[in-house]
Amino acid sequence: MLDKLSGLGAQTEFIWTGHKNIQYCKACEYCMKNDKCIINDDYEEIRQKMLNADGVILGTPNYAFQMSAQLKAIYDRSHSLLYYTCRLVGKYAVGVCVGGHPYMTAKIAKTVAQGIWLCGGYYAGFLGAASVNRDELALQNEEQIIKKAGHLAEKLYSAIQNKKKFQWQHFIRQQFLYPQVAKMMESNKSKYPFLYEYYKANKYL
C-alpha cells in the first residue's frame, strides 16, 4: 500500500511500534486537564506525525482476536489528546490486519480504522488478510489481497485529494457521538475546565 501511494505521488513513512517505547495509559486524567500526557516516551512523536499527516494506514497483527498491545496503547493514550479534542478532523485512514487465520482479521482492521473516526476523521476502508502459516510471509489468496490493498490505497489517496465527506460517518458523529461527549463536558466543566473551554471555543457546546 505504501508503494502504491508513493507511485501516486504521496510522501510516505513507515513506523513500526515494536521499535518504540510506548507505555500504557495510567488513567490519571492528566491529559484531560492539561492537554498533554504526563508520560515521557515515544507516544508524543507518533501523535505529532498523525497530526501532521493527511492520511494514516493503521496496521496490526491479529493477536488473540484483538489489535496489538502497542497500537491499543496508542489509542488509549489518545483518549483526550485526539478523541475528546477531535484533533483528526480532515484526516483519513484505512485499517489493515493480518493473522494466521482469517477469523476476525477484517473486523479488527475495521475497528482500527474506526479509531480515526472517533478522533474526528474519516476511515476510507479496511482490509483483513491471513497468512499461509505463521512461519511464511506468503498470504492466502495473495494475488487477490495485494490487488485489494492497491485499490484501498487508491481510495485513501482519492479521499485525501478530494477532501471526501463520508456522509454516513458524518451523520453518526454529529447526531450521536458529539452530543454525548458534549453532554459529558457540560456536566464535568469544573472537573475538566480545559476540555469545557475547548468545546465552547470550537462550538461543540
pLDDT tens-place string over residues 159-204 = 999 999 999 999 999 999 888 888 998 999 999 999 999 988 988 7
CA dist 186 and 79 (Å) reads 18
**Residues spanned by the domain of 52:** 2-164
Give 63's contacts (C-beta < 8 A, 6+ positions apart).
Answer: 69
Query: What does pTM read for this prediction?
Result: 0.92
The chain-wide mean pLDDT, for the chain, equals 94
* SS3 category, 57: strand
Do 82 and 172 belong to one domain? no
Residue 203: CB atoms within 10 Å: 6
| 17: pLDDT strictly greater than 80 | yes
Q: Is 118 in the same domain as 182?
A: no
Bridge partners (DSSP) of residue 182 are: none
Q: Are residues 42 and 116 in the same domain?
A: yes
Residues 31-52 have a mean pLDDT of: 96
Residues 134 and 99 in one domain: yes
Total domain count, the chain? 2
Whether residues 75 and 159 fall in one domain: yes
| Interval 101-120 mean pLDDT | 95
**Cβ–Cβ under 8 Å, residues 202 and 194:** no
